[in-house]
Amino acid sequence: MTYEASVIVAAIVLVAAAVFLIATYAAKKRAAQEEALKQQASTRGWTFETERRGRCRVRRWRGSQDGVAWMAESSERPGGHNRRPIRLAHWRTTPRRGPAAPIVCMGVPKGRETPSLNVAQDDSMFAHLATKIAGFALDKAIDSYFGDGVGRDVDAAVLKPVPGTAIPGFIVMAADIEAASRVLFQGLTKALTAGTADPHSVFGTDNRPWVLLWKDGVSLGRTRAFDTTDDVEKFVRAGSALARLPIA
- The SS3 call for residue 49 is strand
For residue range 212-233, list pLDDT tens digits in order.
Answer: 999 999 999 998 889 899 999 9
Given 3-state DSSP classes, what are the helix, strand and coil percentages for the chain, each rounded to the nearest 5?
Answer: 45, 25, 35
Query: How far is it, in rounded angstroms, from Cα 172 to Cα 106?
Result: 6
> Which residues, in sequence order, are CB contacts of 52 under 8 Å at separation 6+?
58
pLDDT at 144: 84
Higher-pLDDT residue of 218 and 1 is: 218
Tens-place pLDDT, residues 27-46: 556 666 778 888 899 899 99
Cα–Cα distance, 181 to 45 (Å, whole number): 36
- Which pLDDT value is given to residue 155? 85
With bands split at pLDDT 50, 70 and 90, how would you rate the model's confidence at 247?
A: confident
d(CA 50, CA 71): 13
- Residue-level pLDDT at 29: 60
pLDDT of residue 125 exceeding 90, the answer is no
Q: Is the pLDDT of residue 25 over 50?
A: no
SS3 47: strand
Q: Checking phi first, is residue 88 left (phi over 0); if not, alpha (psi -120 to 50) or beta?
A: beta
Q: Is 10 or 194 the better-scoring residue by pLDDT? A: 194
Q: What is the mean pLDDT of the chain?
A: 81
Sorted by where each begins, the domain ranges of the chain are 1-43, 47-243
- Give 83-123 pLDDT, tens digit per residue: 666 788 999 999 888 999 999 999 998 888 775 554 444 45
CA distance 134 to 136: 5
CA distances from 196 to 100, 168, 172, 193 (A): 26, 7, 15, 5
- The pLDDT value given to residue 22: 57
- Residue 57 CA, chain-centre distance (Å), reads 15
